[in-house]
Amino acid sequence: MSLPNPSKGWRSSSSRLLALYSFLFVAWSCILMGVLYYEVSDYLGNLAKHSLMQRQHLFARFEGEQLDEALATSMTFDMRAVDAYGLFDAHHKPLSGPIRSLPAGLPLDGQIHALSTCIDSDNPDLPQDSCDAIATQTNDGRWLVLVRDNGSLFAVTRIILHALLWGLSLTIIPGIAGWHLLRRRPLQRIRAIQASAEAIIAGDLTCRLPLSNRRDELDMLAAIVNAMLDRIELLMHEVKGVCDNIAHDLRTPLTRLRAQLYRMRQHAVEGSSEALQLDEVIGETDTLMARFRGLLRISELEDHQRRSGFLQLDPLPLLQELYDFYLPLAEEGQVTLILDTEPTLPSLTGDRALLFEALANLLSNSIKFTPPGGEVTLRATDDNGSPRIEVLDTGPGIPEAEREAVFKRFYRCDDTHGGFGLGLSIVAAIVNLHGFSLDVSNRESGGAWLTLHCRQRLINPG
């Protein structure tokens, strides 16, 4: 059993919290920027209108030649393409000033009006864009038009807008970098916890979840789980010790009992009822002793200290030895045994004797359950750099509902073939000890299909 991969990207809690915080920060910054831009724009607009109204009041004090001189003098202080004027007679004919025609759409009411297009002229010294304009009649009956371009004042708002945009971008970039860095550390700790948890799932109850010096929420949770594991390991060792002691302690008296029964059988008359009963009792005693040996064998395999003796080995000689060993048994049962391997196979790390025992159990079961005239195939292939060993037969197969139960102790699918129900339990213990995985399925044409994946999971070498 493997744990799901840690959440990545936006699915992790830290990423979501940081993303939510960033979103709220950017949204609030945009609102602040919009309010500031609106307030500054409104203030500068009112300032421009107030300045234009002051110019109008100033020139309204002059008449005749004094007005002409005041207007001519103002041109030396006005900004080109920002401020302009035009003086027209009663019939709107130009008299002086750079504005030679009344701006289109400007009412002659003495009020300030905003024009989207100010002066339609090729003169670059005249305001071309949006502007505020006012047309008033002087005391001598002439018309004075004053114009002020809004662009000069609203350039300040553009500067403010650019500054805010730069500030926002310079905030977002470090925010994204911080989000990436802040989410990496929790994910690294989660992956370390996952690696330890997978080792525990593989059967190493001595492994514990890692703790850091930060003593945060993850460390609190890991400490709680470690305390639970300490208690579970203690209880498991107690139960295992009791079972092992029972099996070990009973083996000696059972051996003595069998020896006594055997001596009694030697003195019994051949063919008598006493001899037949003693034969049955001796058979039951042998069965009981075999079961105790199987239980002790499983207990021995569950001791992960055996991993210290693992070596790199070539699976091809092992498979050839298995084939040669079980070929006579297959021929005796009129079953065809086939060895199908690639010329070269990747090496694997493990205990050769234990792997031979596990594969021998699988192979002997397939031969035992395959009817005469059937076929059993021992196949090995390269599975992306690790061996994959398969045992296929043409027997009745394993029902889907029983594919997990067959690895439990004393479970037997079919009582007609005998056995104690411990063979596949021993196989499961060996597979778990090596960190391999074993898949059980059926062939489409019928028969069992057992696949041993020799790609090791992360295990603690003990």
307 or 325, which is more confident: 325
DSSP-H helix ranges across 302-397: 315-332, 352-369
User: Residue type for 368, please?
Assistant: K
Euclidean distance between the first and final Cα of the chain, in Å?
A: 20
Q: In terms of pLDDT, which residue wins out, 26 or 58?
A: 58
Q: 């009006």: which residue's tokens?
A: 113
**What integer pLDDT is reported at residue 11 of this predicted model?**
56
Own/partner pairs, 263-272, CB within 8 angstroms, 24+ separation: none
Give the C-alpha distances (Å, rounded to integers) separating 270 from 165, 259, 262, 282, 298: 107, 18, 13, 15, 39
Which residue in the block uniquely carries the two structure tokens 């009981």? 288
pLDDT at residue 293 is higher than 80: no
The residue-averaged pLDDT of 426-452 equals 83
pLDDT at residue 376, rounded to an integer: 92
Q: What is the model's pLDDT at position 410?
A: 47
Q: What is the pLDDT of residue 403?
A: 65
Kindly report the pTM of this predicted structure.
0.45
Do 147 and 132 form a contact (C-beta atoms < 8 A)?
yes
Report the percent of the chain where pLDDT is more than 70: 77
More confident site: 406 or 280: 280
In this prediction, residue 420 has a pLDDT band, given cuts at 50, 70 and 90, of: very low
Q: Which amino acid is at 238?
A: E
- pLDDT exceeds cutoff 80 at 440: yes
pLDDT digits (tens, 9 = 90+) for 169-210: 777 777 677 666 766 777 777 788 888 887 777 667 778 888
Cβ-Cβ contacts under 8 Å for 155 (sequence gap 6 or more): none
Pairwise CA distance, residues 88 & 166, whole Å = 47
pLDDT higher than 70, residue 12: no
CB atoms within 10 A of CB 313: 15
Whether pLDDT at 461 is above 50: no
Secondary structure class of 448 (helix, strand, coil): strand
Q: What is the mean pLDDT of residues 276-281?
A: 83
- Sheet containing 113-115: give its strands across: 94-96, 83-88, 143-149, 131-137, 113-115
Q: What is the CA radius of gyration of the chain?
A: 47
Residue 113 tokens, joined = 């009006």
pLDDT of residue 309: 62
β-pairing, 83-88 vs 387-393, is: unpaired
Distance CA 384, CA 402 (A): 30
Residue 66 in this model has a pLDDT that exceeds 50:
yes
Let me know how long the chain is.
462
Phi, psi of 137 (to 5 degrees): -100, 130
Residue 173 half-sphere exposure toward CB, CA atoms < 13 A: 6
Residue 133 φ/ψ region, left for φ over 0, alpha for ψ in the -120 to 50 degree band, beta for the rest? beta
422, two tokens: 């411990």
User: CA–CA separation, 182 vs 179, rounded Å?
Assistant: 5
Least confident of 61-65, 184-188, 189-193, 230-234: 184-188
Q: What is the dihedral of CA 14, 15, 20, 25, to 10 degrees?
A: 100
Q: Which domains does the chain have, with CATH numbers?
A: 1-198 (no CATH), 217-302 (1.10.287.130), 305-453 (3.30.565.10)
Is residue 109 classed as helix, strand or coil in its secondary structure? coil
pLDDT band for position 458 (cuts 50, 70, 90): very low
Range 99-122 burial, b when 16+ CB lie within 10 A, else e: beebbeebeeeeebeebeebbebe
Residues β-bridged to residue 442: 448
On whether the CB atoms of residues 119 and 128 are closer than 8 A, the answer is yes
Average pLDDT over residues 354-373: 87
Q: Which of 181-185, 359-363, 419-423 has the highest mean pLDDT?
A: 359-363
326-343 tens-digit pLDDT: 898 899 989 999 999 988
- Residue 418: the pLDDT is 43
Please tell me the predicted confidence (pLDDT) of residue 378. 92
What's the rounded Cα separation, in Å, for the pair 228 and 87? 96
364-376 mean pLDDT: 89
Tokens of 453: 């994946």
Tokens of 154: 């609203």
Give me the chain's average pLDDT, please.
77
Confidence (pLDDT) at 377:
92
DSSP string, 173-205: HHHHHHHHHHHHHHHHHHHHHHHHHHHHHTT-T
Angle at 129 between CA 124 and CA 135, to 5 degrees: 95
For residues 426 and 301, the answer to whether their CB atoms sit within 8 Å is yes
Return left, alpha or beta for 457; rule: phi > 0 is left, psi -120 to 50 is alpha, else beta: beta
Angle between helices 64-74 and 13-59 (to 10 degrees): 150
